[in-house]
Amino acid sequence: MKFTDHLYEAAKPIWEKGYEHSFVQGIGDGSLTLDRFQFFMCQDYVYLIEYARLYALGSLKAPDLQTMSTFAKLLDATLNMEMELHRQYAEKLGISKTELESTEPAPTTLAYSSYMLNVSQRGSLAELIAAILPCAWSYGEIGQRLAKRPGAMEHPVYGEWITMYQSEEFTKLADWLIDLLNQLVEGKSETELKQLETIFINTSRFEYLFWDMAWDKSQWTI
């Protein structure tokens, strides 16, 4: 069993709850209200700015030129493919680029991105990947599951979101991280593997909390 298969099994109950979340189901059946989606896209945009920095950090920590170059491609894909989706949605929803970029991170957004940055700055490349992997992997899974629903990809609002996250272009980003993590864990001790699992579970939990935040549109209360 590959190490990432083990991680997948460990996080499965959390990911399943994420898939079943009213927000995700609302994207799938088109019932999600626009105000919630708009809140999500703005928070997600500023989250992705911080997330993209982790790919730059991955490039810094990379052991060889090929790995360095792949992290640079992942950085480019986040800034110019994934975040372009957000910019296009913002335009359609009447949100300017400046407004999008200057979104104040809500508590969950800030906690999630700060946790990833902290773990990745202090830790090894394997720890960095354990922190960022649920983000890339779980959205690919969600996209592919939602895409199987008849008509979901053709929905006038949410169709493009599903189309993007189910795409091969997006899912191959996670595949590459999965392969690299499996290589990096060779020879690691049980304690080190457990630490990687803890990080992976924590960011999986944050993924769930992000759906919750978007559903409730929860902001700072003080």
Q: How far is the CB of 17 from ligand NSP (least distance, A)?
A: 15
Stretch that binds ligand NSP, among 118-126, 134-142, 150-158, 193-201 (CB under 6 A): 134-142
For residue 81, CA distances in Å to 67, 86, 98, 139, 146 come to 20, 9, 18, 15, 20
Site membership for ligand NSP, residue 161 (CB under 6 A): no
- Residues 66-105 within binding reach of ligand NSP (CB under 6 A): 82
- Quote the tokens at residue 214: 């978007």
For residue 178, CA distances in Å to 7, 75, 148, 192 come to 10, 16, 24, 17
CA angle, 32 as apex, 222 and 8 as ends, to 5°? Answer: 85
Q: How far is the CB of 217 from ligand NSP (least distance, A)?
A: 15
Site membership for ligand NSP, residue 47 (CB under 6 A): yes
- Quote the tokens at residue 51: 């997330």
Tell which one of 14, 44, 126, 162 touches ligand NSP (CB under 6 A).
44
Q: Is 207 a catalytic residue?
A: yes
Q: Catalytic positions, please?
A: 207
List residues near ligand NSP by CB under 6 A. 44, 47-48, 82, 135-136, 139, 207, 210
